[in-house]
Structure 1
Amino acid sequence: MPRLEHTSVPPWAVPNAAVSPAPDATGTSYVLVGVGPDGAQQVAAWRREIRAARGDVPVETVLAEDHADAGVRLASALAAARVGVRVRVAGAVGDCLALRGVAVRAGVEDDELHVAPTAAGPVAVQCCHCGAITPSAAGIDDVVPCAGCARRLLVYYHVSRRTGTFLGFQIDAEEAAS
């Protein structure tokens, strides 16, 4: 296993990661995103916390069963957002990575985004050979078959900030064909 502090994998996306620091409570408004039942529970807790501490600060809630639906709604909320918005995301790791990509593409900075994974969940692995995206429960350094070209892909310790996908490349690409 590589030293992950020198990778693009966010600390919260690593199995058995330490608990994330407390989310920023200084926003002028909030967008809370939850994927699945556990994500919805976390969003409800955040909403109560913000209401108790900040009273009438605007809070938009996005609840969805998958990151695709949540991503469309998050992008719409961020398009209408003003300076000072804070985004909080909860769901399985793969969902959180994808939603982080939506937020980054919309211009959200790391200090404006808090991510709280609720489960390991599948991640997306992008093949550098054919570009296909393979959903998988694999972890870093695991090998998965590409959904596009069927190559055996090593799940590399690089995550795209803009797409939320892990890089996958052919594990035996440098070995001579027999």
Structure 2
Amino acid sequence: MEHTSVPQWALEPLVQPLDPRASRCTILSYAAAPVAARWTDGLDELSIPHRTLELAPREQASPDERRRVDAELRDAVVGWRLLIAGALLDVLGTRSLALGAGLLDAEIIVGTTSVEALPVTCAHCETTMITSAAIAEVISCRGCQEELLVHHHVSRRRGSFLGFKNDAEEWAPEGEAVE
């Protein structure tokens, strides 16, 4: 995995450091109170104004919570930082939303609490599914039933890993079968 778009925080639980140059911050905590508390303590020490929003994990998210996140992104000003803490599934989804709204990577700080559940999007039918499979493992697409390889690529736009046909790289001359 020398050349990959998978950030280290998507491979193992990891909390990125605060940006001491931030003018103010919003912490989005998806059942990640210890990480939010750690960031709160650090922001207090740096005298950086901040607020914390406690949000339900993705399986429980409501349209109201999506509106709350959208409102935070609309109110963003120069120097503001978005801190996202929670399971990889929640972090990737919210980070994708933030990037789509125009935030830069440098404006987003991430803290993952677990990385066991991966969102994987099928390259063939665009179905996104949640799996406990690891990178380089094969899963079955619930949309098109293809056997998909979980690739070491994270789509910033979709907030998910790429899954593509497991034997897509095998080629046989016309008329010959692939073993």
Of 23, 36, 44, the match for 2:37: 44
Contact 2:136 2:152 in 1 (8 A): yes
Structure 1 residue 21: Cα displacement: 4.9
Alignment of 1:12-51 (within 5 A): 12-15=9-12, 21-36=16-31, 39-51=32-44
The equivalent residue for 1:127 is 122
Contact 1:95 1:123 in 2 (8 A): no
Structure 1 stretches of 4+ moved >6 Å: none
Structure 1 residue 123: Cα displacement: 1.3
Tell me if 1:11 matches 2:8.
yes
Paired with 1:144 and 1:30, the residues of 2 have a C-alpha distance of 38
The equivalent residue for 1:76 is 71
Contact 1:42 1:90 in 2 (8 A): yes
What RMSD over aligned residues (CA atoms) do the two structures have, in Å?
Answer: 2.1
Contact 1:160 1:166 in 2 (8 A): yes
Contact 1:34 1:91 in 2 (8 A): yes
Structure 1 residue 72: Cα displacement: 4.3
Contact 1:126 1:166 in 2 (8 A): yes
Structure 1 residue 20: Cα displacement: 5.2
The equivalent residue for 1:65 is 56
- Count residues in correspondence: 169
The equivalent residue for 2:135 is 140
Contact 1:34 1:62 in 2 (8 A): yes
Structure 1 residue 44: Cα displacement: 2.4
Structure 1 residue 71: Cα displacement: 4.9
The equivalent residue for 1:156 is 151
Structure holding more helix per residue? 1
Q: Which entry has the higher C-alpha Rg, 1 or 2?
A: 2
Contact 1:146 1:153 in 2 (8 A): yes
Q: Deviations over 1:106-141 (max 9, x none)?
A: 222121211111112311100011110011111110
Question: TM-score, normalised to structure 1's length?
Answer: 0.84
SS of 2:43 mapped into structure 1: helix
Structure 1: gaps of 5 or more residues: none
